[in-house]
A and B are shown apart, each in its own frame.
Chain A
Amino acid sequence: MAFTDELHEAARHIWDAQVEHPFVAGISDGTLDRGVFERWVRQDYLYLVEFSRVFAWAAAKADRLEAMSWYAAALHLTLNTEMALHRQYAERFGIGSEQLEAERMWPTTRAYTDFLVRTAADGDMADLVAALLPCAWGYVYIAERLAASERPSDQRYADWIEQYASEEFREAADWLRSEMDRLAAAASDEKRARLTDLFVLSSTYEWRFWEMCWRGETWTV
């Protein structure tokens, strides 16, 4: 069994809970309230900024030129293509760029992105990939499951599914999985346990992100 299959097994209950989460289910059948969905549009934009930083750390730490090029390309795509697409997408909900820029992180976004950039900075390549996989692979995993059913009538939700279930995102997730398997190949049992912890923790944060968008969140203090 590949190491990434073991990771998936360890976090399976969280991944299942994500697919079944009312926010995700609401995208799938189109019943999700637009105002609720807009929370995701706003917070995910802030998330992408920090996610880019993780790719930057990855490019700096990569042990092979091929990997370095891949992360540099991923950084470029995230910062200059995905974020531009995200701004265009937000426009379809009447959210302008200035509003996106002015948005403040909610506690879960803050904690998750701090966790990611901290792990990217303090950890090694294997730690970094284990922490970012639940986002990169998880979105594809969820979107592919949603794509198997009938598309929602709201084109904006249908496009959301289309984007994350696309060949491009699938290839990126596959590449990262093969990197994880390569990096874990020579790892000790202790190291593998740590990588599993990071993967499960990021998966938990992914679930919390849906939960945050679903319920809304504020800084309680």
Chain B
Amino acid sequence: MSFCETQLDRLAPLWERMLSHPFLVQTRDGTIPRDTFASWMRQDYLFVEAAIPFLAALIPKGPASHWEPMTQAIGALIRELRLFEERAEAVGVEIKGTRPSFTTHAYIQFLLATAQNASYEEAYTVLYAAEKAYHDSWRMVRDGLDRTSPWWPFVENWAGPEFGAYVAYLQVELDKLAREAGPERLHRMVEAFETTVRYEVAFWEMAMTGENWPGIPSTD
């Protein structure tokens, strides 16, 4: 089995937990409360924004053959931001000016710290795991969501053939990187894969429960 297949196999219980998460199930069934979906939109908007400097930081570290695809991926993120803005306006949700929840903040710091301080291979692992998680999650939603739903454009974005081809490309490239990585680096890639999937599950969880920064006494 390739590196990606091995990791997906190893993390199958976690992956299954992600795909059966109430947020995704209710989105698929059209029963998700509008406010719950809106709070996910606000948080994911912040995440997509942060993914731009994440990818940009990877470009000088990677092989030249990755530069153009990576640049195109940044273009896709910018189109995603427009999609969020357009959907938010369509359903009357204010999407900008939200503060990140704890999970969003932690996940973003993980992305950007990895981009700057870890190897290219580890950062590429995080990229693949996050994109694969979204592709699979939204394919699950596609198998039931009404096409007239205001959330359908998100399905088209992440479950569609274009995004699918991008994820397949990332998988081929990541497997190549893994084949050339030594045991120590490989071990760190395995850890990065798992941490990313945990954050993905935590993200749906946060969107569902409206979790925020806990505990601190406030002066507000």
Interface residues of A (CB under 8 A from B): 13-14, 17, 53, 107, 110-111, 113-115, 117-118, 121-122, 204, 207-208, 211, 219-221
Contacts and interface: CB of A to CB of B under 8 A. Distances in A.
B92 interface: no
A211 B214 CA distance: 10
Contacts of A121: 112-113, 116-117
- Interface of B (DSSP majority class): helix
Given A53-B117, A114-B106, A13 B112 contact: no
Interface of B: 14, 17, 53, 102, 105-106, 109-110, 112-114, 116-117, 195, 198, 201-202, 205, 213-219
Residue from the set B109, B113, B201, B218 with the largest chain A CB neighbour count within 10 Å: B113
A35 B105 CA distance: 30
Contacts of B114: 114
Given A114-B110, A118-B109, 6 more contacts: A115-B109, A115-B113, A118-B112, A121-B113, A207-B215, A211-B215
Nearest to B200: A221
Contacts of A122: 53, 112, 116
A192 to B, nearest CB: 19
A115 B108 CA distance: 9
A158 to B, nearest CB: 28
Contacts of A17: 216-217
Given A110-B106, A111-B105, A118-B109, A204 B216 contact: yes
List of 7 A-B pairs having minimum Cβ-Cβ separation, nearest first:
A121-B116, A111-B106, A114-B109, A114-B113, A221-B201, A118-B113, A118-B112
B113 A117 contact: yes
B215 A110 contact: no
Given A53-B117, A121-B117, A221-B198, A204 B213 contact: yes
Given A110-B110, A204-B216, A221 B105 contact: no
Contacts of B202: 220-221
A118 B111 CA distance: 9
B220 to A, nearest CB: 10
Given A110-B106, A122-B53, A14 B216 contact: yes
A14 B219 CA distance: 9
Nearest to A105: B195
A107 B106 contact: yes
A4 B202 CA distance: 36
A11 to B, nearest CB: 10
A207 B216 contact: yes
